[in-house]
Structure 1
Amino acid sequence: MLFLPELTLLGTGLIFFVLSLGAHSSDTIRNVAITLCAVTLAATLATYNATGELFYGAFKVDMFSQVFKILIAFATLIVVIFSDKLPGIKSKFLSEYYIFLSMSVLGLMMLVSSVELLGIFVALELSSFAVYIMVPMRDEIHGSKGQMEAAIKYLLYGVAATGFMLFGMSYLFGLTGSTRLDVIVTQLSTMYTQPAAIIAIALVLSGFFYKLALFPFHFWVPDVYEGASNETTAFIAAVPKIAAVALLVRFVSLVSNDGKEIVNLLMVCAVLSMFYGNLSALVQKDFKRMLGFSGIAHGGFVLLGLITFHVTGFATSLYYIAGYVLMNLACFLVICSVSKDGNNLAIEDLSGLHKRAPLLALTLTVGLFSLAGIPPFVGFTGKFMLLVGALKEDYLLLVILAAINTAIAIFYYLSVVRLTFCSDSEDRGKVETGLLTNVTSVFLMLAIIIMGVIPSKFIDVATATIQSIM
């Protein structure tokens, strides 16, 4: 029962392996994918209250891990639903694509349950290498090989970040004599001022920063977002970031705010991520690149909750990343629906969308308004709570800089909304969407609004989740 979600994903991969041995229509593969993702979500929900340990204590199942697994399974299901028949993926690789997708999700689920350094490393590599293979599966568009360049950059940056992380883990093992997080936290409590401990923690965090696309491990983002297919980019932009926040919370909760050097490191990364992401997003013409740079900035906002070193701050970061995933998925649903041929979507391609597809235009508006931090959506509520939490800890300068970044972000988000509603369609055809996609659009909009208007229930769950590991 404890390993049920992971076993379901292993079964999913096996089923798609069998499908890859024969010729099947894209409709069949899509229907199987949606069904198996729904089964995985159901299996994860069934283990919500499960607790226990596996693999000699290296794999821990508790409320913390299961809540993050539910978020991962839910986000994956949404991505698979609006990916339709994978128009951006080579038709001969559709089954193989879902094999690697399920293996990546398996790695992410193992990652949030890992409480031992080697387990974290293995799970992180499983989730990463599967995505490295998914990126070059994109179908060539007009003879372009951009997906190959994106895959190589993604792999090289990923290997470098993993190398830093593994080096830091070796330092932690040398300092504490253990790879278990519970032992490490006990040993580190008297070592926060030692240079070796500071270097070790900083190096380990680099691997997590890479997953969350935080400065200075963000360089892969624009090219990978642009080079990968729309479906793959949607997955990369949402699902791995859930596991990255889980890892950061687990790891940062080991360090108290007595470690001033680590606090300063997180603050610097937060500020640089926000400014670099937002300023770079201002000049983008490709919609996916814009969302990639904005994702870097939102990663900086997530760190605002972590630097408080309080349950409330950690819970707010969890609440914010859950909301961010919904906003991002809403935007990528529009991208995948408008770009039926799998091409990248320029911001200009959204001109007159309110006439061509009113529901998609409304979905995009809700997603972008929320990303910009406009009330009453979840983006506003999350940012407000993060800023209030940081202000209570006397991080006044950090709050001011974050507020400035919110103002910068409003400009480029609303410029897309203006183009969507205040420009002519320029003879672009209507956008046809299926019933399942329309239902998903409505669901995402309602979720974004409800989480923003009634945050207390979600914050209570997030707080209970964090308290389960404190």
Structure 2
Amino acid sequence: MLFLPELTILGAGLALFAVSLGQFQPRTVKNITAYVLLISLVTTICSIGNNGTMFFGAFKVDLFTQIIKSIVVLGTFIIMLFSNPDAGVKKGTQPEYYLFMLMSVFGLMMLVSANELLAIFVSLELSSFTVYLMVAMRKNDTGALVNGTAQDSTGHGHAGIFCQTGQGMQSEAAMKYLLYGITASGLMLFGMSYIYGLTGSTELPVLAPALAKIFPAPVAVVAVLLILAGFFYKVALFPMQFWVPDVYEGAGNEATAFIATVPKVVGIALLIRIASLIPASGQEVTWVLGSCAVISMFYGNLAALVQKDMKRLLGYSGIAHAGFALLSVAMLGLYGFAIAMYYIIGYLLMTLACFLVICTLSRNGSNLQVSDMAGLYKRAPLLAITLACALFALAGIPPFVGFMGKFMVMVEVLHKGYLVFVVLATINTAIAIYYYLSIVRQAWCTDDKERPAATPSLLVNAAAFFLLITIIAMGVFANPVVNTLAAALSTTFS
């Protein structure tokens, strides 16, 4: 059945709505959500062989869409394994919080299969507005406290009530997220109106040959770039990335883990769908996208160098990694698209591993500083190994998935003849190594006897083992994964 994975998520949403009408323990609500996601994961994997269209061609199911949906559900399920509903969510709102998470997953699944511009817009808004609410539902009594004094992202202390309690931080983050999202949506709608005016259609299969006839007319280039701006916001790419540090810091740890990973996979997938409409001769778009990618790398890496808050650091890091994925998309080729998907899937795994450590160490849901990683190798050896492997992978050190992702991106860009982009990306890789290894140094080369030992649960240990194995396996067996993604992409473009 083509719509079975989405129906499973919708049924789960109805179940959580019913749960919200009663009185249930937060742990019970979380367990219900986890079981439902597991069922949805099974149904999505079982539907990978399905092909077809629904809703008069606005909804398309093929190998590529089902693979991405499986990754979306799997990523959300892993977040559920290490989440703590008592720590990061306002008391009494856990059913609504998980309901919004599932509705965001539903919107992302619809977004992957959307085969028409208006369907893309509606799905994007559904997946986004529910996350705005999740950000605002963080507990008021969490903050980054160090020796009784709240600290900001640069490590400077503040004595105010706002900083000590974190009160209002989540509201500010939600409002910034919302306002930037509205701006991006407006730009995207403006671009869609241009495309409709130029081609007379909003259906993606019709747009590809129509755009090939009018490229590289300036109005066509501008229209495509305006549409891409909406997904730049979703993936946190320049110039739509300014919301990232404040939203990451203000949202709860589990909500940040979701924002930082799952929507980015879908965002890159949709960037590929839109970029595939551009003729191979559209070098103007390649230079614009490549320039945005390089600026995102420099902005993210240079800003991350001075961060003390772990989530803000990972936020800026995510901007830089999104730049690497965009650079591969900018090459406007099937293999480049497959490498971009490989890269962003690897990024999801690496970032989830980092947030697993953050959420496990932060028992009260507070933000952690880089200094809080001190002595982690003694307090929780498995968490220290997980964090080190994830950071090595993010830095691009072999044999992990991050190294192969960056290497393959650079080879593809060099093959297309854009040497300047390769040089600039290499410089950014060198910059990033410094702040990633500084966290590893804190975890493995320092000691802090005052901090208590961490005791991860069985589920957390299982998730850590899975992420470790997958990060290494995807790095060692990179070619089969990329070839599979390329084959899946060829079906969606046919």
1:304 to partner: Cα distance: 2.0
Deviations 1:4-31, CA, capped at 9 Å, x for gaps: 1110110111111111111111221121
Q: Secondary structure at the match of 2:238?
A: coil
Output the CA distance in 2 between the equivalents of 1:375 and 1:264.
29
Match of 1:45 in 2: 45
2:423 is the counterpart of 1:400: yes
Contact 1:379 1:452 (8 Å CA) reproduced: yes
Q: Secondary structure at the match of 1:190?
A: helix
TM-score by length of 1: 0.99
The one of 367, 372, 378 equivalent to 2:390 is 367
Output the CA distance in 2 between the equivalents of 1:307 and 1:395.
11
TM-score by length of 2: 0.94
- Report the identity percentage: 54
Q: Secondary structure at the match of 2:202?
A: coil
Residue type of the alignment partner of 1:103? M
2:386 is the counterpart of 1:391: no
1:143 to partner: Cα distance: 5.3
Deviations 1:272-298, CA, capped at 9 Å, x for gaps: 000000000000010000000000000
Deviates more, 1:160-169 or 1:81-90: 81-90
Q: Secondary structure at the match of 1:53?
A: strand
Output the CA distance in 2 between the equivalents of 1:290 and 1:27.
30
Deviations 1:189-211, CA, capped at 9 Å, x for gaps: 02112121111011000001000
2:9 is the counterpart of 1:9: yes
Output the CA distance in 2 between the equivalents of 1:370 and 1:43.
31
Match of 1:22 in 2: 22
Spell out the pairing of 1:412-451 with structure 2 (5 A cutoff).
412-451=435-474
Match of 1:152 in 2: 175
1:86 to partner: Cα distance: 4.5
Residue type of the alignment partner of 1:135? V
Contact 1:215 1:273 (8 Å CA) reproduced: yes
Match of 1:460 in 2: 483
Residue type of the alignment partner of 1:122? V
Query: Residues 36, 22 of structure 1: CA spacing in aligned structure 2 closer, same or farther, 3 A cutoff?
Result: same
The one of 324, 333, 337 equivalent to 1:310 is 333
1:333 to partner: Cα distance: 0.2
Deviations 1:93-134, CA, capped at 9 Å, x for gaps: 000001100000000000000010000000000000000111
Output the CA distance in 2 between the equivalents of 1:385 and 1:96.
42
Contact 1:331 1:367 (8 Å CA) reproduced: yes
Match of 2:57 in 1: 57
Contact 1:110 1:123 (8 Å CA) reproduced: yes
Match of 2:308 in 1: 285
Deviations 1:202-233, CA, capped at 9 Å, x for gaps: 10000010001000000100000000000000
2:90 is the counterpart of 1:116: no
Output the CA distance in 1 between the equivalents of 2:342 and 2:480.
11
Q: Secondary structure at the match of 1:462?
A: helix
| Structure 1 alignment gaps of length 5 or more | none
Match of 1:328 in 2: 351
Query: Residues 134, 451 of structure 1: CA spacing in aligned structure 2 closer, same or farther, 3 A cutoff?
Result: same
2:341 is the counterpart of 1:352: no
Contact 1:355 1:425 (8 Å CA) reproduced: no
Spell out the pairing of 1:30-429 with structure 2 (5 A cutoff).
30-141=30-141, 142=165, 144-429=167-452
1:456 to partner: Cα distance: 2.3
Residue type of the alignment partner of 1:460? N
Residue type of the alignment partner of 2:72? I
Contact 2:60 2:113 (8 Å CA) reproduced: yes
Query: Residues 277, 315 of structure 1: CA spacing in aligned structure 2 closer, same or farther, 3 A cutoff?
Result: same
Deviates more, 1:410-419 or 1:24-33: 24-33
Query: Residues 311, 86 of structure 1: CA spacing in aligned structure 2 closer, same or farther, 3 A cutoff?
Result: farther
**Number of residue pairs the alignment of both structures matches:** 470
Residue type of the alignment partner of 2:169? G
Output the CA distance in 2 between the equivalents of 1:98 and 1:280.
32
Contact 1:266 1:307 (8 Å CA) reproduced: yes
Contact 1:86 1:231 (8 Å CA) reproduced: no
Deviates more, 1:105-114 or 1:417-426: 417-426
Contact 2:30 2:98 (8 Å CA) reproduced: no
Output the CA distance in 1 between the equivalents of 2:178 and 2:84.
27
Contact 1:257 1:263 (8 Å CA) reproduced: no
Output the CA distance in 1 between the equivalents of 2:349 and 2:171.
29
Contact 2:286 2:332 (8 Å CA) reproduced: no
Contact 2:72 2:265 (8 Å CA) reproduced: yes
Residue type of the alignment partner of 1:111? L
Residue type of the alignment partner of 1:179? T
Output the CA distance in 2 between the equivalents of 1:149 and 1:289.
15
Deviates more, 1:127-136 or 1:143-152: 143-152
Deviates more, 1:120-129 or 1:449-458: 449-458
4+ aligned runs moved over 3 Å, structure 1: none
1:339 to partner: Cα distance: 0.2
